[in-house]
Amino acid sequence: MTRKIALKATLCSRCVLPEAPPDISLDAEGICNICRNHDRKMAEEAKSKERGWLETDFLKVLDKHRGKKEYDCLCMLSGGKDSTAALYYVVKRYKLKPLVFTFNHGFVPDEHLESAQKTVKKLGVDFLYFQTTFMKDMFRKIVETRSKVVICPVCSLWYMLKTYEIAAMFDIPIIISGWTKGQTSGGSRSVLSKCACDQDPDEFRSMSAATKEFMDTHVRTDPKYKDFPRSMDEVLKTAKRKYKYKGTVLSPHWFVPGGPEEYVPVIQKELGWDYPVRSYPKKSTNCDLNFLATKLAVENYGYSVYHIEMSNMIRQGVVSRAEAIELLQMDFDSGIIEGILEKLEAPTLGQ
């Protein structure tokens, strides 16, 4: 049965974040504090003549490492439009030699993996596939404990540390992601120092606190996860200390003008890529856990990480507010949630 999950509060009149005290509030004009903070930051940067990163800056980083190792970069590939386009840019636009890395924690649909494999074959690049059940117990524990931790940021800690490990193993100086402009805060791109997983802004504050509490209470006490990082800062420190990795993580999408409307037609024509049948948000390629993660996040906070991402993209002029609202509609079949819980061997949400 298809059931629409609605946000419970009034949305910001500029972006798609809802009023969610104490982190997100609306002023008399119906504009949220996150948008107002963005405006102030842009004004300060304009006054100081600070500019965002340009493609020429990206090229300088690439040229610094080009041809010096077996692989110029490690490309993270999910099979979705953003990571597929990033890989396409790497091979066709920048003429680099990549090693492509796809991970599967057990909840990635076959059609996503098949898309990734098809892209790799079309481009003729080396491919590394990693599948594990390591995270399953942690995902189940999130459901069982009724924790307010958001699944996706926790998962990002795992897959980024694994990506650093692979990059270090093959001595690859640059990691290329398919992260969008919505996964940065815009402006000077200070978020780059945290792998585009900056959880310091107001809209992430409560989620970050829940992550820390979950890690301290339910993860660090489990021998299986005693060394699991609690934050992206810990991921970066571990990568430097344990793997001796000093490389950087970049996405072409931060530097190339435009968005999906420009690169989707290209990968459809050149690579035969197409949107998957099932994913959330619409026109994305995310694992099945995103359905559960989004449902729980909206129930706990009133919004999800995708509302944050889409709001960033609205502020940067990549998508319109109307487009974002349409893409974020949570009208998916409730049977998907039941299937995920069954696969996790977790109790139903009503129990």
28, part of any domain = no
pLDDT value of residue 189: 44
Q: Which residues pair with 104 in a beta bridge?
A: 131
Domain count, the chain: 1
CA 255 from chain centre, in angstroms, equals: 17
pLDDT in tens, the chain (351 residues): 445 555 667 999 999 999 999 999 999 999 999 999 999 988 887 777 666 678 998 999 999 999 999 999 999 999 999 999 999 999 999 999 999 999 999 999 999 999 999 999 999 999 999 999 999 999 999 999 999 999 998 999 999 999 999 999 999 999 999 998 877 654 444 434 445 454 457 888 899 899 889 999 998 889 999 899 988 889 999 999 999 998 999 999 989 988 899 999 999 999 999 999 888 998 888 899 999 999 999 999 999 999 999 999 999 888 999 999 999 998 877 789 999 999 999 877 754
> Does a structural domain hold residue 154?
yes
Residue at 269 is within a domain: yes
Domain assignment present for 313: yes
In whole angstroms, what is the distance from residue 305 CA to residue 290 CA?
Answer: 10
- In a domain, residue 325? The reply is yes
Containing domain of residue 317, as a range?
Answer: 52-351
Q: Per the domain annotation, does 322 fall within a domain?
A: yes
Which tokens sit at 278? Answer: 């099932």
pTM, two decimal places? 0.88
| pLDDT for the residue numbered 202 | 84
Q: Is residue 33 part of a domain?
A: no
Task: Assign residue 75 the CATH number of its domain.
Answer: 3.40.50.620
Residue 6 lies in a domain: no
